[in-house]
Amino acid sequence: MRLEHVLAVLPVPLHLHGTVRFTGRTPVLAWAVQPDEALLHLQEAVWRTLRDAPACGRMNPIHAPERWKPHITLARGRDAGCPGTPLFSAAAGGPEGILAGQWVGARTYDSVVRSATPLGQ
C-alpha cells in the first residue's frame, strides 16, 4: 500500500494530556498525546507501509507500534526542563487538562541529522 493511501484517513482526533520529559542522549520536553484507536491504527499502518517499502533501510525501533510514544516535541537539549505552570487549559466544556484538536499531517524526524521530513507528499 502507498503512504498517500494510508494518510488519506487524516484528519484524526488529537488529545494532548499534560507534558512528558524523555531522557536519554538528548532530553526532550513534549506534550503527551493521549492515543485513541484512530491514531494507533494510523501509526501502525504508516509503520508497516514504510517497513515494506523496497528502499526503506533500517527502521528506528522506537517507532515500532509496540514501543511508540506519541508526543509533540516542545524543546530538545540540556535545557528541556519541565515548566512549572501548565502549558494549556481545557477547552470550554472539555475534560480538565486536555487540549483537543486534529492531526492533519505526518512527518518523521531524523535525530542523527536533526531534520524533519513530511510524509506522503
Provide the pairing of β-strand 107-110 with 98-103.
unpaired
Q: What are the distances in angstroms from CA 33 to CA 21, 56, 100? A: 12, 27, 10
pTM for the predicted model, two decimal places: 0.74
pLDDT in tens, 79-94: 666 555 555 555 556 6
From the centroid of its chain, how far is CA 52? Answer: 21
Q: What residue type is 13 in one-letter code?
A: P
Q: What residue type is 18 in one-letter code?
A: G
pLDDT in tens, 19-28: 888 887 888 8
Residue boundaries of the structural domains of the chain: 3-118
SS (H, E, C) 45-104: HHHHHHHCCCCCCCCCHHHCCCCCCCEEEEEECCCCCCCCCCCCCCCCCCCCCEEEEEEC
